[in-house]
């Protein structure tokens, strides 16, 4: 996306998010026919590509791991807002929306983003290298947050269903936000070097291949990133009735709608991770994958815990037996992938097989 000479404000990656939000404003709250569904889909694709561009500009300016953190938190904050908005509308689907969305995000990030990044990197460079100290710490945080937020509610006995009691929900919310904050502090302040790319000799590799953008350019990209992400999530929401209609027409369960929306919302991070892997920056891809999973759980659980006190109906967080098995297998496989600090295309393929199993069972339980 090259800028129009002499006026960077007319660059396609600046225009695309604005047009995306304009399309969103035009279709929001309306029943979309086929032409508007296609228009919204095209706007969504353009906005996603623009979001990836601006995320890379910001990341280049602030360096790793701050760049990955910016994109992960930005997407998650808007995703949380979307969940709360839909939950406020009520209905039986609202009871499990948070669980379905968060679990979809965890599986897509830990198996999809990480898996495809490892596969792309291995296909291009033979063996992918990353820092097992930082990646292992991130994986441990993901596993702990997922267990506290999504697994334990299935086994607690204070409530009859797969939900927490009020006091248990408060504890889970406080633990989640605390762990997220501790991880961010570790990643960006205390042990930042654990999350930087490494070379063959195990030496941390700082970004040095190009001059960083100016502060003004980075600020413009940060603003445009926020606008683009609003457009991405909003357009995904606007497309959801059409997606739901298609899902139901195909005979898939209603919970698979959340999976489809999660796939759309996570597109910017997925594309950014693939592009980083193609440049042999696998650590950046892993930061994006695990960082997004941590933010998704660590920020969503506290917000919906507060929101649930003002909404009617139960908040079902506990996973079913099939999902718990898939999550447990994902953690085990991820540990075996991360501990050596290097991976081949086999590890990437294994993670993608787990993602495929999750997606298949989501539509064919």
User: Minimum mean pLDDT among 80-94, 209-223, 261-275: which range?
Assistant: 80-94
Higher pLDDT, 340 or 73: 340
pTM value is 0.80
DSSP string, 6-24: TBGGGSHHHHHHHHHHHHH
Local structure of residue 317 (DSSP, 8 states): -
Answer for the pair 323, 104: CB distance below 8 angstroms, yes or no.
no
Q: Is the pLDDT of residue 2 over 50?
A: no
Question: For 241, phi and psi rounded to 5 degrees?
Answer: -60, -40
Residue 134 lies in a domain: yes
Residue 1 lies in a domain: no
Q: Where are the alpha helices (DSSP H) in the chain?
A: 12-27, 34-62, 66-88, 94-107, 114-125, 132-146, 152-155, 166-185, 215-249, 256-265, 267-278, 282-308, 321-338, 345-363
Cα separation, 227 vs 105, in Å, equals: 21
Which is nearest to 295 in space by CA: 146, 115, 190? Answer: 146
Residue 125 lies in a domain: yes
Q: In total, how many domains does the chain have? A: 1
Compute, in degrees rounded to 10, the torsion defined by CA atoms 24, 29, 32, 37: 20
Compute, in degrees rounded to 10, the torsion defined by CA atoms 284, 286, 292, 298: -120
Residue 355 lies in a domain: yes
Cα separation, 342 vs 255, in Å, equals: 36
Residue 76 lies in a domain: yes
Residue 89 lies in a domain: yes
Domain that holds residue 214: 8-363
Cα separation, 230 vs 224, in Å, equals: 10
Compute CA 171 distance to the chain's CA centroid, rounded to the nearest angstrom: 24
> What pLDDT, in 10s, does the model give residues 112-139?
999 999 999 999 988 899 999 999 999 9
Cα separation, 231 vs 26, in Å, equals: 12
Tell me what pLDDT residue 300 has: 86
Residue 2 lies in a domain: no
CATH, residue 64: 1.20.1420.30
Q: What is the mean pLDDT of residues 285-308?
A: 88
Q: Is the pLDDT of residue 92 over 80?
A: no
Identify the sign of the CA torsion 287, 293, 299, 302: negative
Q: Is the pLDDT of residue 226 over 70?
A: yes
Cα separation, 48 vs 104, in Å, equals: 19
Q: Is the pLDDT of residue 53 over 50?
A: yes
Name, of 10-24, 66-80, 267-281, the range with top average pLDDT.
Answer: 267-281
Residue 251 lies in a domain: yes
Q: Is the pLDDT of residue 86 over 70?
A: no
């Amino acid at each position: 996306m090259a800028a129009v000479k002499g006026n960077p404000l007319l660059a396609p990656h600046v225009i695309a998010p604005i047009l995306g939000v304009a399309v969103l404003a035009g279709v929001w709250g309306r029943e979309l026919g086929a032409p508007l569904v296609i228009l919204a889909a095209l706007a969504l694709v353009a906005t996603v590509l623009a979001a990836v561009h601006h995320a890379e500009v910001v990341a280049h300016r602030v360096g790793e791991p701050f760049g990955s953190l910016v994109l992960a938190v930005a997407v998650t904050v808007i995703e949380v807002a979307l969940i709360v908005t839909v939950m406020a509308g009520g209905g039986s689907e609202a009871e499990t929306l948070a669980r379905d969305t968060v679990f979809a995000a965890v599986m897509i990030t830990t198996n999809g983003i990480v898996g495809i990044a490892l596969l792309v990197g291995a296909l291009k460079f033979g063996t992918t290298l990353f820092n097992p100290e930082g990646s292992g710490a991130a994986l441990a945080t993901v596993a702990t947050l997922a267990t506290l937020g999504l697994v334990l509610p299935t086994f607690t006995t204070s409530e009859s269903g797969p939900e927490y009691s009020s006091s248990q929900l408060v504890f889970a919310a406080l633990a989640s936000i605390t762990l997220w904050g501790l991880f961010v502090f570790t990643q960006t302040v205390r042990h930042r070097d654990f999350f930087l790319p490494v070379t063959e000799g195990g030496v941390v590799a700082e970004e040095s291949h190009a001059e960083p953008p100016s502060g003004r350019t980075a600020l413009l990209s940060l603003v445009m990133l926020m606008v683009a992400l609003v457009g991405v999530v909003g357009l995904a929401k606007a497309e959801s009735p059409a997606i739901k209609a298609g899902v139901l027409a195909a005979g898939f369960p209603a919970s698979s709608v959340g999976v489809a929306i999660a796939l759309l919302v996570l597109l910017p991070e997925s594309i950014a991770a693939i592009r980083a892997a193609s440049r042999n920056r696998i650590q950046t891809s892993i930061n994006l994958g695990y960082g997004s999973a941590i933010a998704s759980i660590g920020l969503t659980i506290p917000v919906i815990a507060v929101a649930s006190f003002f909404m009617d109906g139960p908040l079902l967080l506990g996973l079913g037996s099939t999902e718990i098995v898939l999550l447990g297998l994902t953690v085990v496989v991820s540990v075996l992938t991360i501990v050596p600090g290097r991976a081949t295309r086999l590890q990437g393929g294994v993670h993608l097989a787990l993602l495929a199993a999750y997606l298949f069972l989501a539509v064919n339980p």
